[in-house]
């Protein structure tokens, strides 16, 4: 990507705290690991025995070993726009080559992926989409690089969480593109993907409840129920149709 191309990419830089947080145990264990396990559970379509995975917005590569354990891929491609994070991702890739020798890292924009058509069995998009300004273009790119029958594993925080005071204080996001759980699901359907209710999960995890981090529920003073709360997270395993 040339300097002129780089400067034209809509990009909201993360805070120093955010970059640090993405390599903590809390991020790996309570956020990333939990999401991958949940997304794997939501898949109800056959996958190749050794799939090709594209990790869009791979950041510092904390996901690589978790994805290798969960899906036993033969190849993984990590893509991110933040070059300092890719430097750390290279270290993460080297650390898990015992499980996955074929890891390629690419500097690129999710709205213009540097990959050929129908080259991936799985596109993994974890907590990346709410950072993207050109969301429709990015979703079209995910669809393009997936093979027919391929799976988009999409895990995202909703506007209820991203617009909370604590997240506004500690992180940076393009606020005008944030969506509700339903808004993201509608976008994915419009983008040409298929999924049903059984392919969707709406976790209500403690860390996503920025108002009290689930404290009131733990001490019995609150019992938020699905349909009567503002969802903070949405996970979906969506399929690119074989016959569009």
pLDDT at 227: 60
Residue 63's nearest CA partner among 96, 101, 104 is 96
User: What whole-number percentage of the chain has pLDDT above 70?
Assistant: 86
- Residue ranges and CATH numbers for the domains of the chain are 3-239 (3.40.50.150)
What are the beta bridge partners of residue 156? 234
pLDDT digits (tens, 9 = 90+) for 52-109: 999 999 999 999 999 999 999 999 999 999 999 999 999 999 999 998 999 999 999 9
Tell me the average pLDDT across 21-50: 93
pLDDT digits (tens, 9 = 90+) for 201-235: 998 765 555 554 444 455 454 555 656 677 889 99
- For residue 232, which phi and psi values (nearest 5 degrees)? -105, -20
- Other C-beta atoms lying within 10 Å of the C-beta of residue 197: 5
Distance CA 62, CA 59 (A): 8
Strand pairing report for 233-239 and 146-157: antiparallel
pLDDT at 242: 92
More confident residue, 1 or 57: 57
Distance CA 4, CA 7 (A): 5
pLDDT at 49: 92
What are the beta bridge partners of residue 80? 107
Distance CA 97, CA 89 (A): 12
- Whether residue 24 contacts residue 56, with contact meaning beta carbons closer than 8 Å, is answered with no
pLDDT at 78: 98
Average pLDDT, rounded, for the chain = 87
22 pLDDT more than 50: yes
- For residue 23, which phi and psi values (nearest 5 degrees)? -120, 20
More confident residue, 243 or 143: 143
Distance CA 83, CA 88 (A): 9
pLDDT digits (tens, 9 = 90+) for 172-184: 878 888 899 999 9
| Length of the chain counted residue by residue | 244
6 pLDDT more than 60: no
């Amino acid at each position: 990507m040339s300097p002129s191309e780089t400067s034209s990419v809509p990009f909201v830089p993360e805070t120093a705290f955010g970059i640090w947080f993405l390599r903590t145990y809390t991020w790996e264990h309570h956020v990333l690991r939990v999401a991958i396990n949940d997304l794997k559970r939501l898949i109800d379509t056959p996958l190749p025995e050794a799939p090709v995975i594209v990790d869009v917005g791979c950041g510092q590569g904390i996901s690589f070993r978790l994805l290798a354990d969960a899906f036993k891929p033969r190849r993984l491609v990590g893509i991110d726009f933040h070059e300092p994070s890719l430097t750390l991702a290279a270290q993460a890739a080297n650390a898990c080559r015992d499980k996955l020798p074929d890891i390629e890292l690419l500097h690129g924009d999710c709205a213009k992926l540097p990959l050929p058509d129908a080259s991936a069995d799985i596109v993994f998009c974890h907590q990346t989409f709410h950072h993207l300004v050109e969301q429709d273009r990015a979703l079209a790119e995910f669809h393009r690089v997936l093979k027919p029958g391929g799976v988009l594993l999409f895990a995202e925080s909703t506007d209820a969480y991203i617009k909370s005071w604590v997240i506004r204080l500690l992180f940076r996001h393009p606020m005008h593109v944030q969506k509700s759980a339903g808004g993201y699901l509608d976008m994915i359907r419009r983008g040409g993907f298929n999924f049903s209710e059984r392919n969707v999960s709406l976790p209500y995890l403690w860390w996503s409840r920025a108002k009290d981090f689930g404290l009131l529920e733990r001490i019995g003073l609150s019992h938020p129920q699905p349909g009567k709360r503002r969802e903070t997270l949405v996970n979906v395993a969506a399929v690119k149709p074989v016959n569009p």
